[in-house]
């Protein structure tokens, strides 16, 4: 702020304190005292890291680097792209009419279908963030019918994780099946969240089906889904032993903690 004020004012009135004690014949002091010296060529003192420039009507003073005028640079000024007005209007309308199927369908035809690609995806992402998963699924089905739609594992991933966290496991399995039809493969995070969702839902058999599917994936499995299963299958020692054996074969350098038998019901 000092340098900005200095550049907009007459130098004799705002000379910095560290310049006041300079000898009168010092080049830096003469620059401030004699305004006409600003029209001369650029002055630099490489030893001290001080630079002057006459590229503008003022001057610039920086220690070690070129002077910046203080205005935010592009990314800091603009920030992240916010949700557009149309997308925000659609989100509010969908939430307003979500309990009235007739009004909801009419609103979708009038407003959702006219959204641009990025606005439609922004609506989908925001509905997932707000855990409006039923509406998010509707928007996802609309996106799939657009001419610009290409199968995308990340669109499936975010929606599957949102559904799993909201305990909508039937919808998860439908999306899982659709994902396979489009020849897309989940990543480790998707497997982990779906396995966790089935274990939380009290369906260890479904969790094991997802586990078997993970073992057949072209990508090498990661450690996290195994850890989730090893913890969630404590009441089911036979299933847990199978997962433990596979884990020790795939990650021989890792260890598995086995709690006392009393914890999972074997006495």
- Give the number of other Cβ atoms within 10 Å of residue 55's Cβ: 8
CA distance 218 to 234: 28
Express each pLDDT in 33-87 by its tens digit. 555 544 444 444 444 444 444 444 444 444 444 544 554 444 433 334 568 889 9
**In which band, very low, low, confident or very high, does the pLDDT at 260 lie, cut at 50, 70 and 90?**
low
Task: Identify the pLDDT of residue 144.
Answer: 94
Average pLDDT over the chain reads 77
The DSSP secondary structure of 71-102, one letter per residue, reads: PPPHHHHH-SPPPPHHHHHHHHHHHHSTT-HH
Q: What is the DSSP letter of 16?
A: -
pLDDT tens-digit series, residues 156-212: 999 999 999 999 999 999 999 999 899 898 999 999 999 999 999 889 999 999 999
- CA-to-CA distance for 125 and 136, rounded, in angstroms? 8
Check if the beta carbon of residue 187 is closer than 8 Å to that of residue 160: no
For residue 162, the SS3 value is helix
Query: How high is the pLDDT of residue 148?
Result: 93
Residue 113 DSSP code: T
DSSP percent split of the chain into helix, strand, coil, nearest 5: 60, 0, 40
- Distance in angstroms (rounded) separating the CA atoms of residues 136 and 123: 8
pLDDT for res 263: 53
């Amino acid at each position: 702020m000092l340098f900005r004020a200095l550049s907009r004012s007459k130098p004799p009135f705002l000379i910095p304190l560290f310049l006041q004690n300079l000898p009168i014949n010092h080049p830096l002091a003469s620059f401030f005292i004699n305004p006409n010296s600003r029209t001369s060529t650029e002055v630099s003192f490489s030893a001290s890291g001080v630079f002057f420039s006459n590229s503008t009507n003022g001057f610039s003073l920086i220690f070690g680097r070129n002077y910046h005028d203080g205005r935010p640079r592009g990314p800091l000024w603009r920030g992240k792209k916010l949700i557009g007005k149309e997308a925000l209007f659609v989100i509010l309308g969908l939430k307003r009419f979500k309990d009235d199927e007739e009004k909801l369908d009419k609103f979708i035809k009038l407003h959702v279908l006219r959204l641009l690609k990025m606005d439609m995806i922004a609506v989908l992402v925001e509905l997932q963030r707000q855990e409006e998963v039923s509406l998010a699924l509707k928007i996802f089905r609309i996106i799939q019918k657009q001419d610009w739609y290409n199968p995308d594992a990340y669109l499936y991933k975010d929606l599957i994780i949102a559904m799993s966290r909201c305990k909508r496991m039937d919808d998860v399995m439908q999306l899982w099946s659709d994902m396979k039809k489009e020849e897309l493969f989940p990543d480790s995070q998707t497997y982990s969240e779906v396995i966790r969702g089935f274990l939380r839902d009290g369906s260890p058999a479904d969790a094991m089906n997802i586990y078997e599917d993970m073992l057949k994936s072209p990508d090498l499995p990661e450690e996290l889904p195994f850890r989730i299963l090893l913890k969630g299958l404590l009441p089911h020692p036979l299933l847990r032993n199978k997962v433990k054996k596979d884990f020790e074969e795939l990650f021989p350098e890792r260890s598995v903690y086995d709690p006392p038998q009393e914890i999972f019901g074997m006495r």
